[in-house]
Structure 1
Amino acid sequence: MAALVLAVTALTARPGAFEFQDASTVGVDVAGAWQASTYILKDGTEHLVTGQIFFTGSNWTVLFFVLDDFGLARRGSGEGGTFTLTGDQLVLTHRYHLSAGEAMPGLAASELRMVARGPDTNAPQEPCQVIRDDDRLRLNFPSGNAMTFIRAM
């Protein structure tokens, strides 16, 4: 009986210590490496992509190439920074960006772009919706475009 009283006292002495987290604030598990699969434009055009996105702690990095109908890379982007995740809302802070590419269906040509921001400088934030279905991940970007990924082995 004394042990039961002691246990109840310990639990009530720290309110909230054993509360369950509200499901709306639990983030989708994005940790690890994901293989890029498709780039879906808001007009419905789909392009095959190759590359990977990595999520570790509060950091992210992506390197991907948009492929033409022959499997040749015609556009590419390397990006990275920090992120926050609340529920299905992923906010990517863009500290690093390198991209260039040819025009492709639904995509205008893009001149070489290089940006590097230090940790103490303001950086653009990109709020995205993230959807995970087992080993598949989809990022819905504010532009209306989306990219899909498959868990890397």
Structure 2
Amino acid sequence: MTTFFVAQAGRLRDVVVGAVFTAEDAAELLAGSVRFSATRPFTGTSATVQRRMAEMAERGARERVKARRRAAAGLDAAIAAIATSPIIDKVVDAQIDRILRPLISGVLDDVLTMLEKEPDRIQALVRGQRDTMVDELVGRIRSGAAAGDDAVDRVTGKMLRR
């Protein structure tokens, strides 16, 4: 029973929105010297009232969807304008200067102090990197030489077959 009332409340909201837009249409028609009652007769029968309420509910639902889309587009545009604002850039830069730069300086100072106290750690790291780089270079030279050998073998093979 509760879901019935919730569903009816949603439909009632759409009816109200549809009625507002229908009233707006009526006002436009009246302003243009056209009688609303002549273009959309209202006889007052139950079927007519139900049909008109259904029309207003459908119109209200459509207008609600349109309004949400317009609001979302407006919000996206506002967020983009704020995000690209020079004021926001200044605020972000100020926060970086206030928080990130001292943090990096402190960490860098700690790392350099540690390296001064324990140079063996960094020397082993540098040696390991150097060995890895030398191994990579030798490997590339070997693969290049092997590719060159294959090319020379193909050329000589073609020449000797002739």
TM-score (norm 2): 0.20
Question: Going by fraction, where is helix more abundant, 1 or 2?
Answer: 2
Question: Going by fraction, where is strand more abundant, 1 or 2?
Answer: 1
Computing the radius of gyration over CA atoms, which structure comes out larger, 1 or 2? 2
